[in-house]
Amino acid sequence: MTVGPGDSGTWEVPLSALEHHAYCDRQTALIHVEGVWAENADTVRGDLSHQNVDLPGLTRRAGVTVVRSLPVASETYGLRGVCDVVEFTGGTAAPVEYKVGRYRPGGPAEVQLAGQALCLMEAGFEVPVGYVYSVAEHRRHQVVIDPDLVARAIEAAEAVRRLLADQRLPPARHGTRCRRCSLRDDCLPEVTGGRIRPQADLFSPRPLGSWRD
């Protein structure tokens, strides 16, 4: 879905776009500028893994309040979105982001988690750590919300905002990450990434080759 500018005239950045940008800026523009989306096995598994946390709810256990599908926003950084799960203990909050694949330390999911932390901190909570829950591994991984990670999230938000304002697709960068991207057929990285150059005129005959009898 294409996101429009807010009341201040600046573009709001969806939290999901932070992860998309950390993965690929062209994918970010396809989704959030062009409104392109396509399903593959990974996206379907991701939807299924979110079925429980996508249902808003609140539970309490051992002094911890667990909120599912919590809307959050940051006016300072122009962010908005929904946290899969947030665990509150007094004045401390710990966001939990569900991902279908295996956890990658330092990967794009951590940038999205830091964006959630920024929203929660602006709401007045301390957010020393968050968690990425890997469905493939059936476990969650602790992520320290340190200044470097927060800076990555802020830089990603600014980069996404520029993409939304420009309303243009950046060039493709064909690489191994393209193999599992559900938008590969829309992006055509093999062509637009420069590895395969189409003929200038597809209707012009090619020169005859040399043949041996």
- The CA distance from 31 to 23, in Å, is 13
With CA atoms as reference, report the closest residue to 45 among 100, 88, 82.
100
| Total-model pTM | 0.75
What is the pLDDT at residue 7?
A: 46
Q: Are 109 and 46 in contact (CB under 8 A)?
A: no
What is the pLDDT at residue 190?
A: 62
Instruction: Please tell me what DSSP assigns to residue 43.
Output: H
* Burial classification of residue 198, based on how many CB atoms lie within 10 Å of its CB (0-12 exposed, 13-18 middle, 19 or more buried): exposed
With CA atoms as reference, report the closest residue to 140 among 70, 82, 66, 77.
66
Architecture of domain 13-192: Alpha-Beta Complex (3.90)
What is the pLDDT at residue 69?
A: 94
Residue ranges per structural domain of the chain: 13-192
For residue 40, give both structure tokens. 């593959």
Residues 6+ apart with CB under 8 A from 140: 96, 131, 132, 133, 134
- The CA distance from 99 to 53, in Å, is 12
Task: Give CA separation, 37 vs 40, 48, 182, 191, in Å.
Answer: 10, 17, 8, 20
pLDDT, block means (10 residues), the chain with 213 residues: 50 91 81 67 49 78 94 96 96 95 93 98 98 94 98 95 85 66 62 49 51 47
Q: Which amino acid is at 12?
A: E
